[in-house]
């Protein structure tokens, strides 16, 4: 039985959330399923409002001029939506991985993009530092956690221009001063809920500054004015995201989960560093607390190791095809016990080899 899910996604959620979600599919409102009630009915409008307000509350952005939206099209749609809403002349992008690279390519369709720094030539195994952000650009874009390469920005720059951040793979996992950011977006499917909803948190006063016409579905202002209900929202994904945010709030919020996430990360990285059979992929100072990437020093041990972790009920440990090796994704819902189980297998391999 697969007991420990280290998969990079989609959708790693606490059991209690899964149970409530399953129940809502069967009976949400007086015998009707969440999937069949009108999205304009009070029970669902309440869900949407709760989800939007919980997102701002958890990020400590209430009353600070921000609006939270749950949109469709994944984080990938945000790559172009950010550009459509914000890009007038030129924007600066920090290129720290495949997803940053994709964000740059999409924005380039609309206007000029300048890479303020890139770690591409080093296989994205570190986060560039000490770069300048030109003051006369429209915005600066970065990716907080590089899901594929296992690097994470630890210190964000004090940007002189609006700062936009793709937080798809580490949203709600660590405390940050979220008011440093003007737009935050994150696909739901790692720390929030099923694929299909994307959280977008926008500081309203950065909008309305571009001269182009923006199609309604791509326009943040339209979605804000319609309470994130411009068209039919992804009701199930929003509901489950709301349940996960409630779970996180009850746990003690981001502060509490960050402590847990740090324990998990310390455990796996100390095994990677102490066990001579393994080698970390990312440079130590930029290691992600969400996705730990590592390789075997001796590829001949691959078959044995793979059989051992599978036998231990571990799922989803293979690295992304562009990096190879292994990736232990440790999203909020993964328990410390699961990391202990993996570390036990890694130590056992050392004893055997």
Q: Which residues are catalytic?
A: 99, 166, 190
Judging by beta carbons within 10 Å of its beta carbon (0-12, 13-18, 19+), is residue 327 exposed, middle or buried?
Answer: buried
Residue 319, interface with ligand PLP (CB under 6 A)?
no
122-130, 161-169, 250-258, 343-351 -> range binding ligand PLP (CB under 6 A): 161-169
CB atoms within 10 A of CB 329: 22
Residue 168, interface with ligand PLP (CB under 6 A)?
yes
Please give the residues from 130 up to 149 whose contact with ligand PLP meets the rule CB under 6 A.
Answer: 143, 147
Residue 17, interface with ligand PLP (CB under 6 A)?
no
Three-class SS of residue 57? helix
Give the span between the Cα atoms of 69 and 226, in whole angstroms: 10
Residue 173, interface with ligand PLP (CB under 6 A)?
no
For ligand PLP, the closer CB: 176 or 296: 176
For residue 39, how far is the Cα from the chain centroid? 26
Residue 119, interface with ligand PLP (CB under 6 A)?
no
Q: What is the DSSP string of 289-342?
A: SSEEEEEESSGGGHHHHHHHHHHTTEE--BPPTTT-SEEEE--TTS-HHHHHHH
Give the span between the Cα atoms of 215 and 322, in whole angstroms: 35
For ligand PLP, the closer CB: 75 or 277: 75
Residue 241, interface with ligand PLP (CB under 6 A)?
no
For ligand PLP, the closer CB: 95 or 168: 168
Residue 187, interface with ligand PLP (CB under 6 A)?
yes
Lay out the site mask for ligand PLP across 47-86 (x = CB under 6 A, - = otherwise): ---------------------------xxx----------
Give the span between the Cα atoms of 308 and 97, in whole angstroms: 31
For residue 320, what are the contacts with CB-CB under 8 A and spacing of at least 6? 8, 147, 148, 327
The answer to whether the annotation marks 347 as part of a ligand binding site is no
Which residue in the shown chain puts its C-beta closest to ligand PLP?
Answer: 74
Binding site for ligand PLP (CB under 6 A): 9, 74-76, 99, 143, 147, 166, 168-169, 187
């Amino acid at each position: 039985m697969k007991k420990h899910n280290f998969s990079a996604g989609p959708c790693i959620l606490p059991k209690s959330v899964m149970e409530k979600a399953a129940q809502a599919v069967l009976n949400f409102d007086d015998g009707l399923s969440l999937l069949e009630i009108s999205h304009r009915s009070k029970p669902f409008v309440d869900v949407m409002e709760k989800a939007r307000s919980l997102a701002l509350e958890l990020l400590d952005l209430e009353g600070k001029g921000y609006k939270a939206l749950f949109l469709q099209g994944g984080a990938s749609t945000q790559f172009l939506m950010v550009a459509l809403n914000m890009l007038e002349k030129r924007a600066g992008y920090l290129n720290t991985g495949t997803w940053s690279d994709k964000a740059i390519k999409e924005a380039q369709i609309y206007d000029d993009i300048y890479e303020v720094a890139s770690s591409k030539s080093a296989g994205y195994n570190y986060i560039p530092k000490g770069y300048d952000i030109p003051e006369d650009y429209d915005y600066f874009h970065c990716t907080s956690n590089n899901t594929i390469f296992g690097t994470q920005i630890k210190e964000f720059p004090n940007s002189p221009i609006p700062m936009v951040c793709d937080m798809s793979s580490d949203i709600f996992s660590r405390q940050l001063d979220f008011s440093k950011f003007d737009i935050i977006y994150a696909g739901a499917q790692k720390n929030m809920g099923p694929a299909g909803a994307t959280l977008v948190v926008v500081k309203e006063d950065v909008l309305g500054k571009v001269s182009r016409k923006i199609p309604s579905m791509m326009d943040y202002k339209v979605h804000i004015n319609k309470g994130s209900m411009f068209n039919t929202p992804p009701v199930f994904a929003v509901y489950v995201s709301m349940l996960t945010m409630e779970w996180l709030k009850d746990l003690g919020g981001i502060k509490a989960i960050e402590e847990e996430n740090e324990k998990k990360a310390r455990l796996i990285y100390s095994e990677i560093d102490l066990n001579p059979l393994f080698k970390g992929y990312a440079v130590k100072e930029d290691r992600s607390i969400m996705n730990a990437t590592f390789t075997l020093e001796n590829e001949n041990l691959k078959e044995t190791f793979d059989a051992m972790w599978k036998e231990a009920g571990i799922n989803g440990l293979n690295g992304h095809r562009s990096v190879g090796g292994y990736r232990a994704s440790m999203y909020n819902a993964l328990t410390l016990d699961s990391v202990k189980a993996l570390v036990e297998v890694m130590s056992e391999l050392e004893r055997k080899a």
